[in-house]
Structures are given as C-alpha cells and as structure tokens.
Amino acid sequence: MSDIVKPTFQPNREFAKQARIKNMCEYNDLQTWASEDYEGFWGHFANEKIDWFSPYSQVLDESTAPFYKWFVNGKLNVAHQCIDRHLATRKNKAAIIFEGDRGDKQIITYLELYYNVNKFANLLKNEFGVKKGDRVVIYMPMIPEAAYAMLACARIGAIHSIVFGGFSAEALKDRIEDADAKVVITADGAYRKDKPYMLKPVVDEALSGNTPVQKVLVIERNNEEITWVSGRDYSYNELIKHQSTKCEAEVMDAEDPLFLLYTSGSTGKPKGVQHNSAGYILWAQMTMEWVFDVKENDTYWCTADVGWITGHTYIVYGPLAMGATTVMFEGVPTYPDAGRPWKMVEEYKINQFYTAPTAIRVLHKMGEDEPAKYDLSSLKVLGTVGEPIDPPAWKWYYEAVGGSKCAIVDTYWQTETGGHIVSPLPGATPIKPACATFPLPGIIAEILDPQTGEKVGVGEGGYMCVTRPWPSMIRGIWGDPERFVKSYFGDVKKDGKPVYFTGDGAVYDEEGYITITGRTDDVINVSGHRMGTAEVEAACKKHPNVAEVAVVGKPHELKGEGIFAYIVLKSEDTMAEEMEMVKEINKVIIKEIGNIAICDDIVFVPGLPKTRSGKIMRRILRSIAKGEVITQDISTLEDPSIVATIEVKVKG
Ligand code: WT7
C-alpha cells in the first residue's frame, strides 16, 4: 500500500445535511471531547441511549485492567432495550422483515416481537429450567426464531453461544463442552437454493456420548423427518403454543455476560469471546446510528448470518436497540440468480445495505449487469465488512449498486471489538476507495510499532491497536483469563496502561487515513470468515496418513484468501493415490470443522522448512504458495534444499 489515494468521493450534500454526524468538524469535536473527557463522553451517551433500570455509579473502572468494568452497578436488560422501550412509540413498526429462501415473507412488528420473545423466554425458563447465567447454544438457520432465541436468552439472563450452522458436529460439540451448555436450540433444518438441508442430525451427532446438554429445542422449519430423543428433544412449535406472552425482564448488571461467540485465534482451539450487557448494547446502538445513519422510516439489510458477530451486532442487537427495521434473509444471494439482493432492495425499498467483499465479488462476477435491472434508488448507505475490499469490487459497488451517490462505509472491526472501530461516517467522511478511514468517535485507536509502542509514520505500516478500553470490547475468553491477557495485550503500554492489539496490520497515508492491510498472525480470512491455521492443521493431522502439516493463506480471486496446506505423508504415495488423499483429507476437515475449512490447495511435500530448533518457517511457505521469489535468508534452515524441492512440487 504505497500509493496514496486522494479522497475523491466527497459526501453527497443533500444527504449530509440530514446525517447524524454531518461533517468532519463535528467528527473532530466528538473525538476531542472523547480524548479530553473520556468518561464524560461515554457517560453522556450511556445516559442518553440506555433505558437503565437503575443508574450506574461509575463510568469506567480500570482498577483490574485489562479486565475493565463499564457502567459499574448499572442495571438494565438488553431485551428490554431492544423491544420493550420501543412499544410506546413503535409498537406497530416492523422490527424484523424476513425473507425465506423460497421467497416466503413475514413482517414482525415490535409488538409481535415482544410477544414472541416473551413466550420463548417463558418456554426456556418454565419448561427447560433455564436460569440466569446458564449457557444456551443456538445452532440455527437464518429464520426469525434465531433472533427470538437470542432475545429470549437476554430477557432471562441466560448467556447464548451461537454456533454457525456450517460448523460440523465435532466443532459444535467442542463449543458445547467448552461453554458447558445445558440447552441447545436448533431447527430440523431449513432451505437453501430451494432445497431442504438439515441441522438436527448434526446436533444428534454432537450430543452422542457424554454431554452437558439436557434439553434440545427444535424449531420445525422444513418439516423433514428427524429423530426425536424422548426426554431430551422438544418441539418448539408445540411448546410455544402454551406459553404466556408476559415475561418480566430479568434485572441484569451492566457487566453480566450477554453472550459468548467462539472465534479462531492464531493458536489452539477457538476461543469463547465474552461480551457483557451494557457496554456491548450501547456501542451496537451508537454505531448503528452513526455508521449506517438509519432513519425512523428506513429499512436496513445486513446479509450476514447470526452465527457470526456481524449477525449479532448488525442484524439483531444494533438495529433493534435503535428501534430500526432489520431484514433477515434465509437464502443465498446468488439464488435463483445474482439479481436476488437487488430484487429485494427494490421490493423492500432498502435504504442501507451491508455485506462482505466476497459477496460483492461473487455478485459482480456472476451478475455484473444485474443491479441495472432493478430500481435501487432507495439506497443511501452501502457497507462492507470482514476483509479488505479490493478497489475493483469497491468501484462496482459504488457505481453499479450505489449509482455513484451512496456513501460506502468500509467498516473495520472484529468479534472482539463488539462493534465497528474504524469506519467512515456517511455524509461526513470524504471517502477513498477501499479505505476504512478514521477511528469512530470515542475509539482511541492508533497504528503502533509493535516493538517500540510508538505511533508509526506515514506509509510505514504497523499494528492496528486501541489504546483506551471502550464499552463494547471483549471482556474475556470463557474459562481462560490468562489466554485473554496473552492474546490481546502485549508488553507494549501507553501511558502505563495496557494496549489492545487487534492482530491486524494497517498503514496511515499522508492525510491520516487508515487502511487495514490484513492479519499479522496465523489467522487467515476466507470469504470474510476467520480461520486459524492451527485449527485446520489439527484437523488434517486426524488423518492417519498425515505425518506433518503446515497451513497458510493464499490470495484467492473471490474468497479473498484460500486455504493452502503443505502435507508430509507417513507413507509416500504415487500421484494417483495423492488425488485420493486430497479428497480424504478434505473429508476429515469437513468432519472436524465444516465445509468452510476445505483446503483449496493440498500439496504433498517430503518435508517442511524448519529452523534448527524445529520451528516451521511459515513465511517461506506463504511466499511459495503465492508464487513469489524467495528472498528470505534460508541458510539457517535445518535443510535449506527443501525450499527448492517444495517450490518444484508447488509449480508442478
Ligand atoms: C477480522 C475479524 C468484523 C465482523 C466480521 C469478521 C478482518 C474485518 C475488515 C475491514 C479489512 C477487515 C480483520 C479482522 N476485517 N473488517 N473492513 N477491512 N479487514 O469478524 O471473524 O472477528 O474477523 O476480519 O482481519 O481482524 P471476525
């Protein structure tokens, strides 16, 4: 990232007049306020935005840093914040608009949402005995009941842990066990590309053998045949009929956990990222308002899945906390054709559309001219998230989808940050293609040199860090406080205080704009999904014929990054057998993790490049996968000749 792009895209004047943050002067004022009176800034917004049951006594408690506490002793309920408090003014407003894979539609008003969530909460509480603090795993398709399940947990104070529906039985089992969950909420299955697919059989497999799970709630969505285990499995469709629509919201402490969400790290097993109540919901709501600038009559659509943080914060919690109308889509954006999203934008008159660069690239490739067939004039803000967006995809999004009049918000954040941390403000920030621009007001983020802890200069490149705690930051890794400290807080201190490391590289240009350049650790980003190379390696090793393995990322035209595995087999195979082995190893990966971790390339090599102390030199492997010339010093390797052997093998 050496050439500096001028902010060629100035905010649309008409639009800016009405935006919540109208220009860079207002942005600067807010940022100055935050830096001069940090607690005053956050206290102001906490008072303005949250419907507290009882007030907090202190904005921020840093005494046990990096285990921060926000809004100490404040009491609230996140489901109340997302539903009840809107009933006076919005009871008949659409809270959720659901579009099924097959085009079936449902509009759920705030009042209906209130009744549905209360009944769901009563079911969990009264039939299953779920109590405050219990962990509930949600393994669901993208149907409104997934949102009800989340909010029902929030209402009774249970901690939900959503596992993305694409994860395998093994992966689900690991997450259930780590969280010690006593209930699983799932569905028989759902629809994808007009065909039913199944989830319940995966749950059955995950629960075989020893399990902490006592009850399974099954939402019948596709009505395909499933097995029911008596005394364990219950039909939601049956039980819900008998539940009362009244359910008192549990009084929760600001720092009571709201949910866990497992995500990949650079080493070891996935970690259960913990988010707590008040700080999370505050920032979810504030960023919805600032970054998407959703107005009262707007319709907002985020295409993510509730299995990822984007689905948590920007399909369910953020939009509902601010009282917006959020669209939930069960299907696939390219089915029945690559015009599906644009058809939906026209039909629902969507005003804000939020998706990942991977989806933009696929929609561009499969349906370059599709947007022109629909009336997209309702669109005001287009968002992107999950990975760096490449300028060609950005350009198509801006021109073909946005008609060169929408603001594009390239939102940078992570599971751990709870909400956006670096992003343009629509109408205010002059934008540059594929650039996340500036930290949001209240977020004190800098690009630091990881060695010195000093802010890097223009064009130098460093690590994206946040130097002050913020309300929606990760509160811990479930059951592993040490790993929490080790994973995110290095030795570097700022004014004697811990610094949060995102794990991403970034660079400033001469105007101070931030561009995120990608992960600096052994995490790869496949279609906007985070994947730890260590996890994929562990899965490969389950194959009995795999002796050694190293997994790296490799640039991929559509997915951003693809998964590239170098494998040393126990017994040397012939070419024909290697083809078989590739299939077998991918089968093991599907079983251990799921389809999302299938390797794009598997290359069998006689050995891996290691230092004399036995450390695998991944940088070399990354370069070879990319087809780059090796410039690193390889003389310190145990066997330098292995590099050339691997290169030949990869080129072949
Ligand atoms: C990682 C976080 C954040 C919700 C979806 C993914 C990458 C995220 C951007 C962006 C460049 C981005 C980073 C980050 N990332 N947004 N706008 N530009 N990279 O959440 O699974 O926790 O992944 O996604 O590498 O660390 P996640």
Query: What does the block give as tokens for 631?
Result: 């410039």
Please identify, by atom number, the ligand 1 atom nearest to the C-alpha of residue 264: 21
Q: What is the mean pLDDT of residues 317-337?
A: 98
Q: 449 pLDDT exceeds 60?
A: yes
Residue with tokens 């058809």: 343
The residues, any chain, with a CB within 8 Å of residue 524's CB and separated by 6 or more, are: 530, 531, 532, 533, 551, 552, 553, 561, 563
Q: How far apart are CA 605 and CA 636, in angstroms?
A: 20
Asked if the model's pLDDT at residue 2 lies above 80, the reply is no
- Judged against a pLDDT cut of 70, whether residue 617 lies above it is answered with yes
pLDDT score for 50: 98
Compute the average pLDDT of residues 219-226. 98
* Residue of 466, 501, 530, 559 to test ligand 1 pocket, by largest number of atoms within 8 Å of CB: 530
pLDDT at 500 exceeding the cut of 60: yes
Residue 509 has pLDDT above 80, yes or no: yes
Query: Residue 249: what pLDDT?
Result: 98
Give the Cα separation of 160 and 171 in Å (integer): 16
Q: Report the chain's terminal Cα–Cα distance, integer Å.
A: 31
The domains of the chain, with CATH numbers, are 527-651 (3.30.300.30)
Looking at residue 150, its pLDDT comes to: 99
Cα 530 to ligand 1 centroid, rounded to whole Å: 8
Nearest CA to ligand 1 atom 3: 414
pLDDT over 60 (residue 495): yes
CA angle 420, 421, 422 (to 5 degrees): 105
Q: Which pLDDT belongs to residue 83?
A: 99
- Which residues' Cβ are closer than 6 Å to ligand 1? 263, 308-310, 385-388, 410-415, 436, 502-504, 516, 519, 525, 528, 530
Q: How far apart are CA 279 and CA 254, in angstroms?
A: 7
Read off the pLDDT of residues 132-147 as tens digits, 9 standing for 90 and up: 999 999 999 999 999 9
* Residue 206 tokens, joined: 């995950």
Model confidence band, residue 5 (pLDDT cutoffs 50, 70, 90): low
The Å distance, Cα 503 to ligand 1 centre, comes to 10
In one-letter notation, the amino acid at residue 127 is E
Atom of ligand 1 nearest to the CA of 436: 17
CA distances from 402 to 111, 183, 353 (A): 33, 43, 10
Report how far ligand 1's centroid is from the alpha carbon of 521 (Å). 13
Pocket perturbation via mutation, ligand 1, pick of 303, 413, 488, 507 by most ligand atoms within 8 A of CB: 413
> For ligand 1, atom 23, which residue shows the shortest CA distance?
414
pLDDT over 70 (residue 575): no
pLDDT digits (tens, 9 = 90+) for 582-615: 999 999 999 999 999 999 999 999 999 999 988 9
State how far the alpha carbon of 380 is from the alpha carbons of 300, 374, 390, 409, 488, in Å.
10, 15, 21, 11, 36
pLDDT in tens, 234-274: 999 999 999 999 999 999 999 999 999 999 988 888 999 99
Question: Which tens digit of pLDDT belongs to each residue from 346-358?
Answer: 999 999 999 999 9
Which has the higher per-residue pLDDT, 446 or 1? 446
Tens digits of per-residue pLDDT, 32-88?
999 999 999 999 999 999 999 999 999 999 999 999 999 999 999 999 999 999 999
Token digits of residue 577:
């057998």
Question: Cα of 387 to ligand 1 centre, how many Å?
Answer: 5
**Residue 504 Cα, ligand 1 centroid: separation in angstroms?**
9
Residue among 412, 429, 443, 473 to mutate when testing ligand 1 (max atoms within 8 A of CB): 412
For residue 61, count CB atoms less than 10 angstroms from its CB and return exposed for 0-12, middle for 13-18, buried for 19 or more: middle
Q: 506 versus 632: which is more confidently predicted?
A: 506
Residue type, 284: A
| Cis upstream peptide for 55 (omega within 30°) | no
User: Could you tell me what percent of the chain has a pLDDT over 90?
Assistant: 90
Measure Cα distances from 216 to 128, 156, 212, 594 in Å.
Answer: 9, 18, 11, 22
**482 confidence band (pLDDT: 50, 70, 90):** very high
User: Atom 20 in ligand 1: which residue has the minimum CA distance?
Assistant: 414
- Computed over every residue of the chain, the mean pLDDT equals 95
Residue nearest to atom 21 of ligand 1 (CA): 530
What tens digit of pLDDT does each residue of 276-326 get?
999 999 999 999 999 999 999 999 999 999 999 999 999 999 999 999 999
Side by side, which strands form the sheet with 299-302? Answer: 105-109, 94-99, 325-329, 299-302, 352-355, 381-385, 407-411
Angle between helices 38-49 and 277-291 (to 10 degrees): 90
| Dist. CA 385 → ligand 1 center (Å) | 6
274/260 Cα distance (integer angstroms):
5
Q: Please state which of the ranges 24-38, 423-437, 626-640 shows the lowest mean pLDDT.
A: 626-640
Residue nearest to atom 18 of ligand 1 (CA): 388
Q: Provide the token pair at 418.
A: 């709870």
d(CA 582, CA 603): 8
Confidence of residue 3 (pLDDT cuts 50, 70, 90): low
Centre of ligand 1 from the C-alpha of residue 108, in Å:
30
**pLDDT tens-digit readout, 550-559:** 999 999 999 9
CB 259 within 8 A of CB 162: yes
Is the previous residue joined to 336 through a cis bond, with omega within 30 degrees of 0?
yes
Ligand 1 midpoint to CA 312 (Å): 14
DSSP one-letter code for 73: T
Express each pLDDT in 511-549 by its tens digit.
999 999 999 999 999 998 999 999 999 999 999 999 999
Interval between CA 524 and ligand 1 midpoint (Å): 10
**If you measure from the C-alpha of residue 518 to the centroid of ligand 1, how many angstroms do you get, rounded to a whole number?**
9
Distance, CA 579 to ligand 1 centroid (Å)? 34
3-state secondary structure of 18: helix
